[in-house]
Amino acid sequence: MEENPKKIKKLDKKYPFIEIHTDPLNDYKISWFFPEKLDKDEESLLTSYFGENNSIDDNQISSFFSFVHKSRDFQRIKIREEVFEKIETYFENNELEQIEQQTTLDFSVINATLYPYQKEGILFSVFKKGVIIADEMGLGKTIQAIATAILKKEDFNVKRTLVICPASVKHQWKNEVLKFSNEKAAVIEGNPENRNNLYINDDSFFHIINYETVLRDLSFINKADYDFVILDEAQKIKNYETQTANAVKRIQKKHGLVITGTPLENKLLDLYSIVQFLDQQFLSPQ
């Protein structure tokens, strides 16, 4: 086109479709964009859901669901994939809130006497898709994470949990699981073929690996289809530019939990990177 400027002049300058998307510059609200003139029916449909604005608040998503069906009759309306994901997340969170109201947690699944603040942490964690437990060192974050995983198994049919931790504490994690619960735990190690076999075939509820393994085994991990992923010492992914951090954030999961006893020491981006693992859209773009 640079060599033939006349070709550019011949191109149709009209925007090709009415785009329904989530706007990263407006808290990822569901929005529409179209700089051209709308047809009467298109304008009527958009106005009935968006009013005079080009976006809706999140508390309007439940009624917006019908827009998806009605828009199928309009050839120019294109709904981006992230809109469907946002709608799905909205209904999932509503379901979690309803389950929380109807459920009394049974802390007897843990073979230990929990302190009140630990019960509070578990209550906070079980009914959310993404959580950070940031109690200081020595206050029993591990037992809160173990209890959260087991209670998610009871209430959300979580089938398997992946724990990612520093290599030096992998076997300590296994011992803690065996000590405080009736669940089985396996440390995934050995050569690649052995690790792949364990990811798929080992029937332990807890699988435990170190951060460096994620880089090598990401495809195996995603094939294993873990429902719940726990990051211990999550400051390991505080630098969002590292290969390890990017690999960890590409793990497919339904729920995630982060443990960190290290306060923010240098910059806010450390926390930003950790939150990205839990929910890419929870914070605004960097």
| Cα(140)–Cα(220) distance, integer angstroms | 31
Looking at residue 92, its pLDDT comes to 87
Residues 227 and 154 in one domain: yes
Residues 132 and 235 in one domain: yes
Considering the domain boundaries, does residue 9 fall inside one?
A: no
Looking at residue 182, its pLDDT comes to 92
| Cα(149)–Cα(125) distance, integer angstroms | 9
Residues 69 and 126 in one domain: no
- Strands of the 77-79 sheet, one edge to the other: 29-33, 18-23, 77-79
Looking at residue 264, its pLDDT comes to 63
Three-state DSSP at 230 gives: strand
Domain count, the chain: 2
Query: In this structure, how many other beta carbons lie within 10 angstroms of the beta carbon of residue 263?
Result: 10
Three-state DSSP at 249 gives: helix
- Looking from the CA of 262 toward its CB, the CA atoms found within 13 Å total 15
Question: What are the residue ranges in the chain where pLDDT is below 50?
Answer: none
Residues 78 and 180 in one domain: no
| Cα(148)–Cα(15) distance, integer angstroms | 49
| Cα(50)–Cα(2) distance, integer angstroms | 40
What CATH number does residue 138 fall under? 3.40.50.10810
Residues 92 and 109 in one domain: no
Residues 114 and 242 in one domain: yes
Residues 75 and 156 in one domain: no
Task: Kindly state the tokens that stand for 77.
Answer: 């309306």
Name the E strands within 93-155. Answer: 130-133
Considering the domain boundaries, does residue 8 fall inside one?
A: no
Single residue among 98, 131, 162 that ends a domain in this structure:
98
Per-residue model confidence as pLDDT tens digits over 44-99: 999 999 999 999 999 999 989 899 999 999 999 999 999 999 999 899 888 888 88
Please identify which residue in the block is written with the tokens 């990205």. Answer: 276
Residue pair 19/80 in contact (Cβ under 8 Å)? The answer is yes
Residues 168 and 220 in one domain: yes
Residues 68 and 132 in one domain: no
H or E stretch at 247: helix 243-249
Considering the domain boundaries, does residue 11 fall inside one?
A: no
Domain encompassing residue 249? 105-278
